[in-house]
Amino acid sequence: MLKVGPVSSLSPGEAVRLETSPPIAVFRTDDGALYAIDDTCTHQDASLADGWLEDCRVECPLHASTFDLRTGEVDQPPAKRGVRTHRVVVEGDEIFVEESSDTPNLPPGVTLS
């Protein structure tokens, strides 16, 4: 599992990017729920952690595609494919992410390093 840090370090409405391959974004919604998805928009190489969070959806900062944090499904074009979701575990005050073993959906021209 990947250690993110203390719950207290991630304020409601914020996200943090984990430098994995591909990167993962961990979001804390306004109601305090924690979600983790692949950080790269499937339409074009943009960080979803830099997007706008509303309820359980994040809007890509580049072309406004939205993704459901619970399922990874894309809700609004131009993206056509969803992103992977990852299991979030809280132990005490520490956030951990269990990375999905599914194949990531990467945008054109982006490869795993």
pLDDT digits (tens, 9 = 90+) for 41-70: 999 999 999 999 999 999 999 999 999 999
Q: What is the pTM of this model?
A: 0.95
Q: Would you give the distance in Å from CA 64 to the centre of its chain? A: 15
pLDDT of 109 over the 90 cut: no
pLDDT of the residue at 74:
96
**What's the token pair of residue 104?**
């990531």
- Average pLDDT for 1-23: 96
pLDDT of 113 over the 80 cut: no
Let me know how long the chain is. 113
Structural domains of the chain ordered from first start: 2-98 (2.102.10.10)
CA–CA dist 34, 80 (Å, integer): 24
